[in-house]
Structure 1
Amino acid sequence: MAGMFIGEHTFKVDGKGRVSIPADFRHELTEGDPQAATTGRPRMVIVYGHASQKQLIVYTYEGFRDLAQEIRALPRGSKRRKLMEHLILNMARPTELDNDGRFVLPQMLRDKIALDGMAYFAGKGETFEIWKPETFEGESARLAEEWLAEMGPDADPLSLLDEEEEI
């Protein structure tokens, strides 16, 4: 089982759509793919999701297999299973890194999140996300403003661990 994707990185996307994966993320991808020890080319799965999704969510190969098993465990024909199959399994793209730690981000995926030269990598624990840097900045500022408005400027982010989700 892989560790965690943490931190933030920004990398250039070249004209062919090639982009480097941060070295610490490459390590986690290698840990999360049993074949990587043999091939030296870790696999990952990019979930691009529905049209309103502003980022690409990247799973280790094993992490995505675990998620697919959770979806498969839902009752056949249930609305939740159908939705998860459509938004996650159907809208996913497996890929692998090359020997230089890069991968090709297809034009369709670059267009979906409006990437135009730079890619922002956001560690999210068991996954990482790829964003257009300006889009991430806007979303991050919006979330921070909402949280500060609700909790106050002196609130401790760790206090969120003690709260029940109210969505």
Structure 2
Amino acid sequence: MDQEHLYNGSALNAVDGKGRLSVPAFIRAMIERRSPEKLIVIGKHEVDSCLVGYDANYKGNVLADVNRRKLRDEEQGVDLRAHHSRNRRAFALTESCGWDSSGRIILPPMMRKIARIDDLVLFIGAGETFELWNPQLALDSGDADLAELAAYRLEERGNAS
């Protein structure tokens, strides 16, 4: 994938009581460039306490990765329960969200609960995907760069960390 099609940047946006939030322009522009559908797929991150997001076309990459890892596990004699867990996380623990004319989505309640997102969400560009964080969890993540970015975005918005 060329660099013109990577998610770069960060933003801190408000979430209202109904779960509506504005998707940053850098994410909307990239999704429109990568996919004909104005659709964001959001799911549980494999490792971190956040959500991962991507465009609809990226699902094929997710499937290829799940299958590649299954073959590797089979070759190494690893219990296939790990494969089935990855498969469920990749496809069952996801939601698709379209955005309205104002660039807003409704973050599904299950996704908000998984990532403990309340009134703010921190968007982080992560190359082929992007992440959605509760800013407090980003501060407490143990990743110094992520914590610094979260602190900066909170300060910029007038929220003390």
Same-fold call, TM > 0.5? yes
- Does structure 1 residue 66 correspond to structure 2 residue 68? no
- Does structure 1 residue 30 correspond to structure 2 residue 49? no
Q: Give the match for residue 143 of structure 1.
A: 143
Aligned AA (1:89): F
Structure 1 consecutive aligned stretches of length 4 or more whose deviation exceeds 4 Å:
72-75
Aligned AA (1:65): G
Q: Give the match for residue 43 of structure 2.
A: 47
Shift of 1:72: 4.3
Q: Give the match for residue 17 of structure 2.
A: 15
After superposition, the CA RMSD in angstroms is 2.4
CA distance in 2, matches of 1:134, 1:124: 19
Identity of aligned residues (%): 26
TM-score scaled by structure 2?
A: 0.73
Shift of 1:61: 0.9
2:140 is paired with a residue whose SS is helix
Which of the numbers 99, 102, 117 marks the counterpart of 2:101?
99
Shift of 1:53: 4.6
Contact 2:9-2:26 within 8 A present in 1 as well: no
Range with greater deviation from structure 2 (3-12 or 108-117): 108-117
Could you report, residue by residue, the CA deviation over 1:134-162 in whole angstroms, capped at 9, with x for unpaired residues? 111111xx2239xxxxxxxxxxxxxxxxx
Computing the radius of gyration from Cα coordinates, the structure with the larger value is: 1
CA distance in 1, matches of 2:133, 2:143: 15
Contact 1:49-1:92 within 8 A present in 2 as well: no
1:112 is paired with a residue whose SS is helix
Contact 2:8-2:125 within 8 A present in 1 as well: yes
Q: Give the match for residue 132 of structure 2.
A: 130
TM-score scaled by structure 1?
A: 0.70
Shift of 1:88: 1.1
Aligned AA (2:44): Y
Contact 2:43-2:111 within 8 A present in 1 as well: no
Contact 2:51-2:131 within 8 A present in 1 as well: yes
Shift of 1:49: 5.2
Aligned AA (2:88): H
CA distance in 2, matches of 1:3, 1:135: 28
Contact 2:62-2:90 within 8 A present in 1 as well: no
